[in-house]
Chain A
Amino acid sequence: MLLGQDHITEEGEFVINMGPQHPATHGVLHLKIGLDGETIKKIEPHLGYIHRSIEKMCEQLSYRQFIFTTSRMDYLSAHINNQACVLAVEKALQVEATPRAKAIRVLMAELTRLASHQLWWACMGLDLGAVTPFFYAFREREAINTIIEETCGTRLTQNYMVPGGVMMDIHPNFQKRVKEVLKQIKEKAHEYDELLTGNVIFQQRLKGVGYLSKEDAVSYGCSGPTARASGVSCDVRKLFPYDGYEQLKFDEILNTEGDSWARYLVRLGEMKQSISIIEQLIDNIPEGDFQAKTKNVIKLPKGDFYQRVETARGELGVYIVSDGGATPYRCKFRSPNFSNLSAIPKMAEGAKIGDLVAIMATVDLVIPDIDR
């Protein structure tokens, strides 16, 4: 669309551009697609339409400030991104968050995951031409947003985590409201199934489409539900637990089919697991401080520190290289979407052009997280 380079390649493929302005790319992703008739032969992603130089910015920001640039990266998992940063700083400083803070963090992270998956479900319907799921999913998403707003002050880019704990204590209404929302979500869960999951047309658009093998998923560095749907066990909460996930009971949802339908089911299953995690914790938030004491000006010791967390889309890694100063020397965010995107050409190879939208919808890309 932008480049106007519709032409035929040497191999006789017809090249079309999808994006950067396209409603189904969930942002400003630009894919160049080589077509033979209706069959996809090749996809080349072109990025950078929302490259905001976050990594460069972080080199000038203090260790308290740089955390908050990350809520703008994967804004649907803003809490979890922040959590990754504070955990990295805590690891370097060798301080530990208070038990209360840890519980609050996990609760917030799981609420975010729920809200994020709900938005994915809504967009999934929209992309495939069903408008109703959008209203259903946003009903619950708004309820969660209201809870988060009550405690953190904002709805989307929360900036609630600080090194050593969380910024302020939870709102007195928090526990009551969370229970209400969980009840609502559980009561309405069957609506989700009736609307999309049980829909024959919907199933047929996903089943057998966009297959990704286990080897490819590993080789392409996929993570999160995308990789788990191909049978790769990669849940960071299980493999490298942080913030007390090791004490919670939940399952890692795995599926071995590797197609779009499997990815859909994995995400739905994850929503149930998140609910169960929240239920385990909501009545057991330990008493005590919500913040451990840290110095005002944080200086990390020399060296490199890597911290990974499981966002709603996969494994986010924060890699901080410190030269002993008050700002990071180099800060790299290993974004889950970036690797998942690199597998899309593989998934879509040989598929029909109409299925590409379905494939991208199940991978659930957030473009600013890819571009950073």
Chain B
Amino acid sequence: MTNEELKYSITELLPVATYDESGEFLNIIIPSDELIPLMKELRSKKEFDFDYLFCLTCIDWKDHLMMVYHLLSKVHKHCIVVKAKITDIQNPKIESVNCIWKTAELNEDEVYDLFGIRFLNHPNLRRLFLEEDWKGFPLRKNYVDENMIKL
């Protein structure tokens, strides 16, 4: 499907979604609680068939956190980027997409480790890279570390 068609079908599914087409891919920005229903549709509907989650990450925009999911369909060869906005930065949480793409499990562990987002219904949420007792979440913009030597 082309970006236009994707946009059209997704608007039907989820009218609250907003779009950003400035980049290479079609970006869909949704509120974080709409994530799972949309993702399930994107995975299961034959015309979307996004079976390959090739990048899962997070961006800290200081006043909100943005989960970014890059999806590709191996069948139709189209790509899409789903961005879920998390406004509660004190206690961020979002549903896990592990039930849809298994690669999400370790990736979400990584995001939890570095950004501190709690994933609901995640089978084994743990700090993946840092020690269990590490203080703070290093990739947050407000992370301070006295031992870090600034350039």
A–B contact, 8 Å CB criterion (strictly below):
yes
The CA-CA distance from A53 to B143 in the complex, in Å, is: 13
B86-122 near A? 1/0 per residue, CB < 8 Å: 0000000000000001110111001000100000000
Interface of A is mostly: mixed
Given contacts A306-B25, A334-B55, contact A221 B129 (CB under 8 A): no
Whether A47 pairs with B77 at a CB distance below 8 angstroms is no
- The chain B residue with its CB closest to the CB of A44 is B124
Q: How many A-B residue pairs have CB under 8 A?
A: 86
A286 located at the interface, meaning its Cβ lies under 8 Å from any Cβ of chain B in the complex: no
Distance from B143 Cβ to chain A, minimum over Cβ atoms (Å)? 8
Q: Which residue of the partner chain, among A232, A234, A305, contacts B23 with CB atoms under 8 Å? A: A305
A45 — which chain B residues lie within 8 A by C-beta?
Answer: 106
Residue B76 is within 8 A (CB to CB) of chain A in the complex:
no
- Using A48-B129, A304-B23, A319-B55 as known contacts, say yes or no to A220 and B102 having CB atoms under 8 A apart: yes
A371 proximal to B (CB < 8 A): yes
CB of B53 within 8 A of chain A?
yes
A311-341 interface (Cβ within 8 A of B): 315, 317, 319, 321, 329-330, 332, 334, 338-339, 341
Contacts of B52 in A (CB 8 A): 218, 221
What's the Cα separation between A44 and B105 when bound, in Å? 11
Contact partner of B54 (CB less than 8 A), chosen from A55, A221, A232, A341, is A221
A218 and B129 in contact, given A53-B138, A56-B138, A56-B139 (Cβ under 8 angstroms) = no
Give residues of chain B (130-151) contacting chain A, Cβ–Cβ below 8 Å: 130-131, 138-139, 150-151
Contact mask for chain B residues 55-72; partner A; CB cutoff 8 A; 1 contact, 0 none: 101011000000010100
Check if B74 is an interface residue, CB within 8 A of chain A.
Answer: yes
Contact status B128-A221, CB under 8 Å: no
- Closest chain-B Cβ to A246's Cβ sits at a distance in Å of 15
Does A176 have its Cβ within 8 Å of any Cβ on chain B? no
Q: Which residues of A in the span 52-102 have a Cβ within 8 Å of any Cβ on B?
A: 53, 55-56, 60, 91
B51 contacts the other chain (Cβ, under 8 Å)?
A: yes
> A342 to B55, Cβ gap below 8 A?
no
From A53, which residue of chain B is reached at the shortest CB distance?
B138
The answer to whether A317 and B54 have CB atoms under 8 Å apart is yes
Cβ-based interface call for B2 (8 A): no
The answer to whether A219 and B128 touch across the interface, beta carbons within 8 angstroms, is no
Q: Is the CB of B129 within 8 A of A341?
A: no
Q: Are B55 and A306 in contact (CB under 8 A)?
A: yes
Beta-carbon contact of A342 and B74 below 8 Å = no
Q: Check B103 against A339 for contact (C-beta < 8 Å).
A: yes
Q: Are A51 and B23 in contact (CB under 8 A)?
A: no
- In chain A between 219 and 239, which residues have their CB closer than 8 angstroms to a CB of chain B? 219-221, 223, 232-234, 239
List residues of chain A with CB within 8 A of the CB of B106: 45, 338, 341-342
- B139 near A371: Cβ-Cβ < 8 Å: no
A234 to B75, CA, bound (A): 11
A305-B23, A306-B24, A330-B60 as given contacts; A342 in contact with B54, CB under 8 Å: no
Q: Is the CB–CB distance between A371 and B54 below 8 Å?
A: no
Cβ of B55: which chain A residues have Cβ within 8 Å of it?
306, 317, 319, 332, 334
| Contact sample, A vs B, 18 pairs, CB 8 Å cutoff | A46-B128, A48-B131, A55-B114, A218-B74, A219-B101, A219-B102, A221-B52, A221-B103, A223-B54, A234-B74, A239-B77, A303-B22, A306-B25, A319-B70, A330-B60, A332-B55, A342-B103, A342-B105
Contact check, B59 vs A321: say whether CB atoms are below 8 A apart.
Answer: yes
What is the CA–CA distance of A371 and B106 in the complex, to the nearest angstrom?
Answer: 12
A216 touches B54 (CB 8 A): no
Closest A residue to B104 by beta carbon equals: A221
Pairwise interchain contact B102-A342, C-beta atoms closer than 8 A? yes
Ranked nearest first, the 5 interchain pairs of A and B with the lowest CB-CB distance are: A221-B103, A48-B129, A51-B129, A334-B55, A332-B57
Contact B138 A219 (CB under 8 A): no
Bound complex: CA A53 to CA B127 (Å): 14
Smallest distance from the beta carbon of B147 to chain A beta carbons, Å?
Answer: 12
CA distance A60 to B51 in the complex (A): 35
Residues of A within 8 A of B25 (CB): 306
Q: Pick the residue among A91, A216, A319, A329 that contacts B102 (CB under 8 A).
A: A216
How far is it, in angstroms, between the C-alpha of A306 and the C-alpha of B151 when the chains are bound?
27
Chain B residue nearest in CB terms to A55:
B139
**Cα distance A216–B131 when bound, in Å?**
30
Q: Which residue of B lies closest to A304 (CB)?
A: B23
Contact A47 B129 (CB under 8 A): yes
Report the nearest B residue to A239, measured CB to CB.
B77
A232-B74, A304-B23 are known contacts. Are A315 and B151 too (CB-CB below 8 A)? no
Interface string of A187-225 (1 = CB under 8 A from B): 000000000000000000000000000001011110100
